Amino acid sequence: MTGRTLYDKLWDSHLVKQNSDGSSLIYIDRHVIHEVTSPQAFEGLRLANRKPWRLDTNIATPDHNISTDKSERDAGVAGMTDEVSRIQVQTLDDNCDLYGIKEFKINEMGQGIVHVMGPELGATMPGMTVVCGDSHTATHGALACLAHGIGTSEVEHVLATQCLVAKKMKNMRVTVDGTVGAGVTPKDVVLAIIGKIGTAGGNEHAIEFAGSVFRDMSIEGRMTVCNMAIEAGARVGMVAVDQKTIDYCEGRQFVPKGEMFEQAVAYWNTLTSDADAVFDTEVILHADDIAPQVTWGTSPEMVAPVTASVPRLDEQPSEEQRKGLERALDYMGLEGGQAINSIKVDRVFIGSCTNSRIEDMRAAAAVAKGRFVASSVKQVLIVPGSQMVKAQAEAEGLDKIFIEAGMDWREPGCSMCLAMNADKLGAGEHCASTSNRNFEGRQGNGGRTHLMSPAMAAAAAVAGHIVDVREFVGGDQ
């Protein structure tokens, strides 16, 4: 018998029943709930006169829709100025109270973006199946979880049955060996991967990220990478357990202690792909080839090294690609052949479930320290991913560095990543953003998003245009 991949192992250990029609019943260990994709699921439960199967599996928090402005946040849910948003957040509170589901409420310690909150509280642990009504749930795969986004009908299904009807995905391994250069971050690595395989490259696959680059990477860095698996089309991204995984988990709120922790660790250490495991698809990149990355277009696959130029219309291999490029350049207000580092930015957003953890805050602060936002930049939003990240950053004095640099230090939430709250771009504005999607209108109707790392975004804020962060921090050009 050939060996099993990490995904095979996670799948096998959660298989409740294999049905004769080819579908499977998979057990869900952890269900993370937020205000946007859950109200209709709770409503469905009530209409069918059903109750949650288990309570100690669910963990909830508001994140997508809440204000990041301190004065509005201080007034709590009742003080939310957008009435439609207020009702949605209140509905989450009401549903959690009604059923007895653990919720970290709007201003409670523990609240944060669902995919920052879960791991930092130890609510997600290696070997678990983790689902959430949000496509960036793959983030939790950094802890060797089988984690993926689900729709609202499946939120209801998990609430009612603790299971999902699923079909096994194919295995893909993305290997990046070597050592990345100075100024090249996990964000750059994952953007380079998306640039290589495209936004549909991982469709129907679960991706395992392997190789020395990921072994050398911190757990928070692995979260950034797994987070964007969905931008490569894969619902699932993951990294095998190593000592870093175990060290990260130890001591967190919901992680067991003492003998049970040792028992857990013994199991967690089995969560790696066997040496002879076979993957359906293999992708290989070399660390040496990866420079800081910037998206120039309207899909995450429209990405290039910061040292490069926007693609030219006359270099496109097909008419379909030429049309797609023309539409993207028109939307972005760019010319083919234009140098990436000539793109001016109007706003900067540092935050989101991709890049709002303490290491991201430190990376941005390292660039911002002793510098000032360019006068042409209208706003720089720094949005920590959780109350815990915010408290830690403030304990380290990072908030002061940002404020002294002329940046806005905000309250935790999803903010301008999807612009459901008041944080958004105006039509035609360019944004250096650490988020995960540069779709048309994503950060505001007509807004133009350039995805990049926190250090690159901070450098763009200071320069007033996209710039190679290595000019700020040194390193090879």
Nearer to other proteins, 86 or 362 (CB): 86
C-alpha to C-alpha distance for 90 and 106, rounded to whole angstroms: 10
**In terms of CB distance, is 136 or 173 closer to other proteins?**
136
State yes or no: residue 29 binds other proteins (CB under 8 A): yes
| Number of residues located near other proteins, criterion CB under 8 A | 83
Q: By CB under 8 A, which span of 84-92, 177-185, 342-350, 372-380 interacts with other proteins? A: 84-92
List phi, psi (to 5°) of 175.
Answer: -105, 130
Q: Which of residues 242-301 bind other proteins (CB under 8 A)?
A: 254-256, 260-261, 263-264, 267, 299
Contact 358/387 with Cβ under 8 angstroms?
no
Question: Which residue in 270, 440, 473, 475 binds other proteins (CB under 8 A)?
Answer: 440
Chosen residue from 113, 123, 363, 388 binding other proteins by CB under 8 A: 123
User: Does 51 interact with other proteins (rule: CB under 8 A)?
Assistant: no
Closest CB 193 distance from other proteins, rounded Å: 16
Interface positions, 380-419, toward other proteins (CB under 8 A): 418-419
**Per-residue contact string for residues 302-341; x = within reach of other proteins by CB under 8 A:** ------------------x---x--x--------------
Task: Say whether residue 71 binds other proteins (CB under 8 A).
Answer: no
Least Å from the CB of residue 164 to other proteins:
8
Question: Which structure tokens are listed for 353?
Answer: 């479930």
Q: Rounded to an integer, what distance in angstroms lies between the CA atom of residue 55 and that of residue 101?
A: 6
Which one of the spans 25-33, 217-225, 271-279, 332-340 is the region binding other proteins (CB under 8 A)?
25-33
Which among 122-130, 237-245, 366-374, 401-409 is the span making contact with other proteins, rule CB under 8 A? 122-130
SS (H, E, C) the chain: CCCCCHHHHHHHCCEEEECCCCCEEEECCEEEECCCCCHHHHHHHHHCCCCCCCCCCEEECCCCCCCCCHHHHHCCHHHCCCHHHHHHHHHHHHHHHHHCCEECCCCCCCCECHHHHHHHCCCCCCCCEEEECCHHHHHHHHHCCEEEECCHHHHHHHHHHCEEEECCCEEEEEEEECCCCCCCCHHHHHHHHHHHHCCCCCCCEEEEEECHHHHHCCHHHHHHHHHHHHHHCCCEEECCCCHHHHHHHCCCCCCCCHHHHHHHHHHHCCCCCCCCCCCCEEEEEEHHHCCCEEECCCCCCCEEECCCECCCHHHCCCHHHHHHHHHHHHHHCCCCCCEHHHCECCEEEECCCCCCCHHHHHHHHHHHCCCCCCCCCCEEEECCCEHHHHHHHHHCCHHHHHHHCCCEECCCCCHHHCCCCCCCCCCCCEEEECCCCCCCCCCCCCCEEEECCHHHHHHHHHHCECCCCHHHHCCCC
Which of positions 129-188 make contact with other proteins (CB under 8 A)? 133-135, 137, 148-154, 156-157, 160-163, 165, 167
Least distance in angstroms from the C-beta of 124 to other proteins: 11
Please pick, from the candidates 222, 347, 442, 450, the single residue that binds other proteins as defined by CB under 8 A.
442
Question: How far apart (Å, rounded) are the C-alpha atoms in residues 183 and 450?
Answer: 17
Q: Closest distance between other proteins and the C-beta of residue 450, in Å?
A: 16
Q: Which member of 8, 52, 57, 388 binds other proteins (CB under 8 A)?
A: 57
In the complex, least distance from residue 54 CB atom to other proteins, rounded to whole angstroms:
8
* 376 is a contact residue toward other proteins (CB under 8 A): no
Smallest distance, Å, CB 58 to other proteins?
Answer: 7
Q: Which is nearer to other proteins, 131 or 365 (CB)?
A: 131
| Residue span binding other proteins (CB under 8 A) among the ranges 79-87, 276-284, 372-380, 384-392 | 79-87
Instruction: Select the residue interacting with other proteins from 3, 16, 288, 403 (CB under 8 A).
Output: 16
33 lines the binding site for other proteins (CB under 8 A) = no
Residues 186-215 that bind other proteins (CB under 8 A): 199-200, 203-204
Q: Identify which of residues 118 and 305 has a Cβ nearer to other proteins in the complex.
A: 118
Least CB distance to other proteins at residue 313 (A): 17
